[in-house]
Amino acid sequence: MPDEVAVSGAELEALVRGVCFKTGPPRAVGVEVEWLVHAPERPGHVLSAAEYEQALTAVRALRLSAPLTVEPGGQLELSSLPAPSLGACWEAMREDLAAVRAALAPLGLALTGTATDPWRAPLRRLREPRYEAMERVLDRTGSSGRAMMCCSASVQVCVDAGLPGPGPLGFERRWRLAHLLGPVLVAAFANSPFLAGRATGWRSTRQALWAAIEPGRTAAPPLGTDARTAWSRHVLDTPVMCVRADEGPWPLPQGLTLRAWAREGVRAEGAGRAPVAADLDYHVSTLFPPVRARGHLELRMIDAQPGEDGWAVPLAVVGALFDDEEAAEAAYRAVAPLSERLGDVPPPRSPLWLTAARDGLTDPGLAAAARACFEAAAGALERLGAPSALRALVAGFTERYVARGRCPADDLLAHPFDSLAEAPGLWGTTAPRGRKDVVS
C-alpha cells in the first residue's frame, strides 16, 4: 500500500461511475451460495477448533470450479464464475456442492438448508483484521451484526448491469427492478424463522438482522436519482468501516466518509494515510445494501434455501426476470404498485421490506406480485432454453409455496423446535431420515 498513489475525490467518483455499472447486453449470470454447517445427529453441537479445521481441510482439498471462501462464523461460501447461461451456472454449482457434501459426510457434517442458525449462538471463527474491525463497527448498533456475521447464510444472484439505453434491459430499469423486486424475493424465499434456540417472530430473521444493523452501511440509495449518481454518492458518502494497514488492529475512523478521506488525505482524523484506488473496491465490499453494484448487480436479499437444489430456484427466477425482455417487463408491471408501500425509509428498513421479512407471502400484495413474477419467469425459462430439470424445480417451488401464499419458513414453523432437525430439506434432501413431507 505505501507505494500506491493517493487519489482525489473526483478520481474516486469517476472510478465508481465507470466501474460499478459496466453496461452491455446481458450475457452472464452468477450465484453465490452460503451454507451453515452442522452435524445432523447433533444439530446444536458447536464444532471444536479441531473438528472445524478437519472439515475445512477436507473441503479445501477439492477441485472446485467455484472459488471457496469462509465466512466469519465458519459458513462456507461458493461463488460461481460468470456463466453464459442459467443451465451452465446451475450445472457447475451443483457439481461443486455435491463434492462438498460428499467430503463432509464422512465427518458426520452436512450443509444446512436454513438462512439463520436455529440452534447455535454467534461464534466468530475467523480472527482476521477485517472481521475484527467489522465486529467492532457493527457492535455500535447492537448484537445483530454479530448474528449476521456468524449465524446467517444467503443465496446471492448476480446479473449483468444491462444496456446503456432505456427499456427493460437498460441498466437504469434493471437497477430499479432489482429494488422493487427485492421485497417479493424476501417474502417468497423467506427461510429463517429461528435463531439460536428460539422462534423470532420473523419468517426471514436474516433480513430482520440486516434491518437492525448500522443504517448507512446496509441501506439502499434513493431510487429517485439516476443509478450511477445515486450509487456513487452512496459509496462516497458512507463512512469507511476501517482503514487497511500492514498490521492489525486496523484503524476505525468513526464517521469518516470516503469523500472526506479523499479531501483531507493523510490529515483525515483516525486514518493515518491518504486513500488509494484499491481502497475504493475494499470500501464497496464493506457496504451491504440489498442490491450492490460492482460492475454487475448483486441481489443480496435472498435467504439460503432448503433441499439439494433449492438454491437454484432463486437463481433461475432472478435470471429469467432480468435477462428475458418480456419477463422483465411483466415483472416490472407486477412490482411497480408495491412502490407506494415503500415509505420514506430506504430498504431494508422500509415498511414493505419489513412486512416481507415478517409475514412472507401471507401479505396479499406481495403474494399477488410473486405469483405474477413466477409465472413470467416460467415462460422466460422456456424461451431461454433452461434445462427441463431446472424448470421443474421452479414449477415445484411455485406450486408448493407461491401458489399457496407460503414460503419455506412455513415448513420449518410446522415443526416443534425440538424436532426441527427432522424438517424436510434441512440437510439437503427432500425427506431426511425417512420422514415424509409434512405439508399436504
**CB-based contact 341:379 (threshold 8 Å):** no
Confidence class of residue 429 from pLDDT cuts 50, 70 and 90? Answer: low
Helices (H), 384-438: 388-400, 408-413
pLDDT tens for 159-197 read 999 999 899 999 999 999 999 999 999 999 999 999 999
Q: Using alpha carbons only, what angle is made at residue 327 by residues 187 and 174, rounded to the nearest 5 degrees?
A: 75
What pLDDT, on a 0 to 100 scale, did the predictor assign at position 18? Answer: 87
Cell of 308: 439439494
Confidence class of residue 336 from pLDDT cuts 50, 70 and 90? Answer: very high
pLDDT tens for 209-242 read 999 998 889 999 998 889 999 999 999 999 999 9
pLDDT at 438 over 90: no
pLDDT tens for 39-91 read 999 999 999 999 999 999 999 999 999 999 999 999 999 999 999 999 999 99
CA–CA separation, 193 and 412 (whole Å): 7
Cell of 137: 463497527
Considering the entire predicted model, what is its pTM? 0.95
CA–CA separation, 10 and 417 (whole Å): 54
Coil, strand or helix at 192: strand
Cell of 185: 424475493
CA–CA separation, 305 and 156 (whole Å): 11
Cell of 172: 437504469
Q: Using alpha carbons only, what angle is made at residue 189 by residues 151 and 202, rounded to the nearest 5 degrees?
A: 60
E strands along 39-183, which residues? 68-70, 76-79, 110-112, 154-160
Determine the angle formed by the axes of helices 144-151 and 129-138, rounding to 10 degrees: 140
pLDDT at 433 over 80: no
Dihedral sign, Cα of residue 226, residue 321, residue 33, residue 90: negative
E strands along 63-190, which residues? 68-70, 76-79, 110-112, 154-160
pLDDT at 400 over 90: yes
268: CB partners within 8 A, 6+ apart: 253, 256, 260, 261, 274
Kindly state the DSSP code that residue 417 receives in the 8-state scheme.
G
CA–CA separation, 123 and 59 (whole Å): 21
Higher-scoring residue by pLDDT: 311, 339: 311
Report which of 107, 101, 85, 92 is spatially closest to residue 159, judged by C-alpha positions. 85
Report which of 428, 418, 145, 398 is spatially closest to residue 309, judged by C-alpha positions. 428
pLDDT tens for 377-396 read 999 999 999 999 999 999 99
Cell of 377: 419467469
Average confidence (pLDDT) over 26-33? 96
Q: Using alpha carbons only, what angle is made at residue 288 by residues 284 and 290, rounded to the nearest 5 degrees?
A: 120
- Percent residues over pLDDT 90 in the chain: 91
What pLDDT, on a 0 to 100 scale, did the predictor assign at position 284? Answer: 96
164: CB partners within 8 A, 6+ apart: 23, 170, 171
Integer CA distances (angstroms), 413 to 192, 193, 206, 304, 319, in order: 10, 7, 15, 16, 29
**CB-based contact 146:138 (threshold 8 Å):** yes
